[in-house]
Amino acid sequence: MAKASKKYELRLYIAGNTPRSVTALNNLKRYCEEHLKGIYEIEVIDLLVNPQLAEGDQILAIPTLVKKVPEPVRKIIGDLSNEEKVLVGLDIRPARQ
Amino acid sequence: MAKSKRSLQPVLTDKQLKKSPTGITGLDEITHGGLPQGRPTLICGGPGSGKTLLGIEFIVNGALKFKEPGVIVAFEEKSDELATNVASLGFDLSKLQRDKKIKIDYVHVDKTEIEETGEYDLSGLFIRLEHAITSIGAKRVVLDTIENLFGGLSNDGILRSEIRRLFQWLKDKGVTTIITGERGINTLTRQGLEEYVSDCVILLEHRVRNQVSTRLLRVVKYRGTVHGTNEYPFLIDEDGISVLPITSLELKYPVSRDKIASGIPSLDQMLDEGRGFFRGSSILISGTAGTGKTSIAASFANAACLRKERCLFFAFEESPQQIVRNMRSIGMNLEAHVENGLLQFHSSRPTVHGLEMHLVEIHKKIQQFNPRVIILDPITNLVTIGTVSEVKAMLIRLIDFLQRKQITVLFTALTLNSSVTEQTDEGVSSLVDSWITVRDLESNGERNRGLYIMKSRGMKHSNQVREFIITRKGLELVDVYLGPNGILIGSAREAQQLEEVTGQALKSHGHTRRDREIQRKKTVLEAKIASLQEEFESLKDELYRTQQEEQLRQEILEKNRMELVKKRYLNENASKSGKGNGKSK
């Protein structure tokens, strides 16, 4: 279980309003409501609007979810359809051995 | 019909492929103008083969020489690392970035940081590239090396289709792109990128043979244009990459009628007109060890410098200082020429690098120094790093290159005593224009040097063996003596010379004595002639007198006879008819 004191800063990089971006955002919101209620912030960055921001977070794939805080920085690429992998990626759930 | 007459020279018409010059020495010659403009080119090769450097040179040259800004997308090295790596080549990437001439984008992919769930694409990369290209108006892009993505992302299917899309996208953008790729085991690249890049593929190799490594470049494929297909050696040094398309197929170059002196007047005398060798020709001096080949070479260099011509001396055996010192002992001040900048030495052991690399280096030095005369001393040592045929091939290319530039070249070659003199070890004798051999002539317990001209194309030359002497004042050739016991050289020749002087004195003495004798004989004979003349005169007189007497006698006899006859007639008439007597008389 995640500690309540932790705050999650999440950034979702998308490129235009593609179906894949929409799916990813919906999936993300659902997971956050379920597991991180009240301690998360989602910032959606559209690279078509701000292409210069891609370099900073080393974005290659679209969509990419970046967890800036808490450390370590993790990236989850894809439409986030696999809940298990997303939760492991966000360190909400420990990876299965 | 017209198609078959297609020229090999790049004539750029609208229909033909446009090319982006790389600015890399030699590469533009091989590709007849550069890489295909607006299309991707794949550069593949093993680790350390120079792929990244080639890419960076393409971008930097584009920015500096051709006003085409460029983007480097680095998947391997961070931009400051990249800048440090190429700083030694004189490329200031940071400054170029500040000037907005180039842009370096470091793309970092780390598998441990990335979790993949579901579908994705690489739009992020496209957007970054697009942003980089538009921010500086780039015309050139290098992706170094995109295969790293395969290490960071696990979904090969997505990657492949995205890479295919990327190349098409770059093509549509009209930017000239270099994609580097690591050489695979059975394929040109590990991930088979050559499938996606069909326009131009260049392979770089790093081959080690006999512990000497040579870098090689080959254009594997270049769609829509002719290109050199050979493996070309290339060099990476402080000026970056230089490739040499050194195999020239044509034997077409201007020739000169100018002659240049060899620095040994008596050697020039052996050649037509006594003025030395043709300018731009190649001269081979072969000989056994210690016969003075280097001295001949040095005096040739010395003569060139005295004519105020630049001379480049490649020494494969001795250091410059050693040559300068040694030549001072025979009256040549090479140091002065070095100080004047007319003479440049370049000493290296042949084993420093491969044959081709030597050639590349010789080319480079020639381009830099622009000499009229070059000397290679000796070429024999090159055989230690290559086979005879390789050395020969290298020298052919060198001679081709030099003759095109009208540079006179002098090689020295060591021959072994046992080997046939008609063939040098390197088999270059057929390539050179003039060939001079210096041989040891051993007789009477001493060694002397004999020099003769084996051949000299396009000019008459002496067929005589001359004795070659090295004196404090320089080199000299002396006529040898041909006697009943063979040729006389060295002290035997000197003895012969002394003997001749003695003979001369004796002869001149004899002359005066004989002259006097002749004078005396002449006087005696003249006296004799006079007396004989007198004798003859008296004899003549005598004979004449006898003849006169006889004639007189004859006349008188005749007269008497006539008288007698007359008288007889008178008597007869008087007795017969005395009347008619009065009428008749």
Helix (H, G, I), strand (E, B) or coil at B418: coil
Once rounded to an integer, what is the mean pLDDT over residues A51-65?
Answer: 86
Q: Is the pLDDT of residue B390 over 80?
A: no
Query: Residue B109 corresponds to which amino acid?
Result: V
Instruction: Give B137 to chain A, closest Cα distance, Å.
Output: 15
- Taking only Cα atoms into account, the Rg of chain A, rounded to an integer number of angstroms, comes to 13
What distance lies between CA A68 and its chain's CA centroid? 9
> B161 and B168 in contact (C-beta within 8 Å)?
no
Give the gyration radius of chain B's Cα atoms.
48
Q: Taking CB atoms and an 8 Å limit, are A52 and B131 in contact across chains?
A: yes
Among residues of chain B, what percentage have pLDDT more than 70?
90
Q: What's A95's DSSP letter? A: P
CA distances from B502 to B478, B482, B485, B508, B524 (A): 20, 19, 20, 10, 34
* Contact assessment for residue B51 and residue B145, using Cβ atoms and an 8 Å cutoff: yes
CB contact at 8 A, B469 and B492: no
Strand B200-209 and strand B212-222: pairing?
A: antiparallel
- Enumerate residues 6+ apart whose C-beta is below 8 A from B56: B72, B82, B86, B91, B93, B142
Tokens of residue B346, six digits: 């370049």
All domains in chain B, ordered by first residue: 16-243 (3.40.50.300), 259-437 (3.40.50.300)
Q: Is the peptide bond before A70 cis (omega within 30 degrees of 0)?
A: yes
Contacts of A53 in chain B (CB under 8 A): none
Class of residue B66 by CB neighbours under 10 A (exposed 0-12, middle 13-18, buried 19+): middle
* Residue-level pLDDT at B60: 92
Query: How far is B101 from B59, CA to CA, in rounded Å?
Result: 9
B206: amino acid identity, one letter: H
> Model confidence over A72-90: pLDDT tens digits?
888 888 888 888 888 887 8
| pLDDT exceeds 90 at position B142 | yes
Those residues whose C-beta lies under 8 Å from the C-beta of residue B312, and which sit 6 or more positions away, are: B344, B346, B365, B366, B369, B371, B373, B374, B375
Contact criterion met (CB < 8 Å) for B117 and A79:
yes
Task: Name the residue of chain B whose CA is nearest to A73's CA.
Answer: B113
Task: Report CB contact under 8 Å: A54, B122.
Answer: no
**B120 with A77: Cβ contact below 8 A:** yes
**SS3 of B200, please?**
strand
Predicted confidence at residue B146, as pLDDT, reads 84
Proportion of chain B above pLDDT 90, given as a percent: 23
Percent of chain A at pLDDT exceeding 90: 3
Which residue from B115, B130, B149 is facing A74, i.e. has the nearest CB? B115
Q: CB A64 to CB B113 under 8 A?
A: no
Q: Does A54 touch chain B (CB under 8 A)?
A: yes
> Taking CB atoms and an 8 Å limit, are B114 and A79 in contact across chains?
no
Helix (H) or strand (E) holding B358: helix B355-369
Q: Is B20 exposed, middle or buried (0-12, 13-18, 19+ CB in 10 A)?
A: buried
Contacts of A67 in chain B (CB under 8 A): none
Closest C-alpha among B174, B175, B226, B171 to residue B196: B171
**Which residue of chain B comes nearest to A15, CA vs CA?**
B123
Cα distance from A62 to chain B (closest Cα, Å)?
Answer: 5
Tell me if B182 sits within 8 A of B190, measured CB to CB.
yes
Average pLDDT over residues B36-40: 90
Q: Which residues of B touch A77 (CB under 8 A)?
A: 114-117, 120, 153
Please state the ipTM of this predicted complex: 0.88
Amino acid (1-letter code) at residue B370: N
pLDDT tens for B269-318 read: 888 777 888 888 889 888 888 888 889 999 999 999 999 999 999 998 88
- Residue B473, token pair as written in the block: 């004042």
What are the contacts of B439-442 at 24+ separation with CB within 8 A? Answer: B439/B287, B439/B288, B439/B291, B440/B288, B440/B291, B441/B467, B441/B487, B441/B489
Cβ within 8 Å, pair B119-A75: no
Tell if the CB–CB gap between B121 and A64 is shorter than 8 Å: no
Nearest to B334 by CA among B314, B368, B304: B304
Contact, B406 vs B414, CB < 8 A? Answer: no
Q: Looking at the complex, does the CB of residue A12 fall below 8 Å from at least one CB of chain B? A: no
Task: Verify whether the Cβ–Cβ distance B128 to A54 is below 8 Å.
Answer: yes
Q: Cβ of A76 under 8 Å from any chain B Cβ?
A: yes
Is residue B239 within 8 A of residue B91, CB to CB? The reply is no
- Contact of B263 with B46, CB cutoff 8 Å: no
Single-letter amino acid code for the residue at B138 = A
Confidence of residue B175 (pLDDT cuts 50, 70, 90): very high
CA distance B76 to chain A (A): 13
Of A59, A79, A89, which has the smallest distance from its Cβ to B124's Cβ?
A: A59
Q: Count of CB contacts below 8 A, A vs B?
A: 96
Select the residue from B72, B75, B117 to test the A interface by mutation, using most A Cβ atoms within 10 A. B117
What was the pLDDT predicted at B537? 93
Q: B241: which strand partners?
A: B236
pLDDT for B416 equals 65
- Per-residue pLDDT tens over the stretch B232-280: 888 887 778 888 765 554 556 777 888 888 888 888 888 877 788 888 8
In one letter, which amino acid is B439? R
Average pLDDT over residues B63-77: 90
A26, A45, A53, A77: best to mutate for the B interface, most B CBs within 10 A: A77
The residue length of chain A stands at 97
In three-state secondary structure terms, B16 is: coil
- Chain A residues with CB under 8 Å of B105 CB are 55
Q: How far is B115 from chain A (nearest CA, A)?
A: 4
As a whole number, the mean pLDDT across chain B is 83
Residues of B with CB under 8 A from a CB of A: 105, 107-109, 113-125, 127-128, 130-131, 149, 153
Chain B residues whose beta carbon lies within 8 Å of the beta carbon of residue A55 = 105, 128
Cβ within 8 Å, pair A61-B105: no
Q: State the pLDDT at residue A3.
A: 46
Minimal-distance CA residue of chain A relative to B152: A60
Among B194, B198, B202, CA closest to B26: B202
Measured between beta carbons, the chain A residues lying within 8 angstroms of B114 are 74-77
Instruction: Give the mean pLDDT of B361-381.
Output: 87
Tell me which residue of B239, B270, B201, B254 sits closest to B463, measured CA to CA: B270
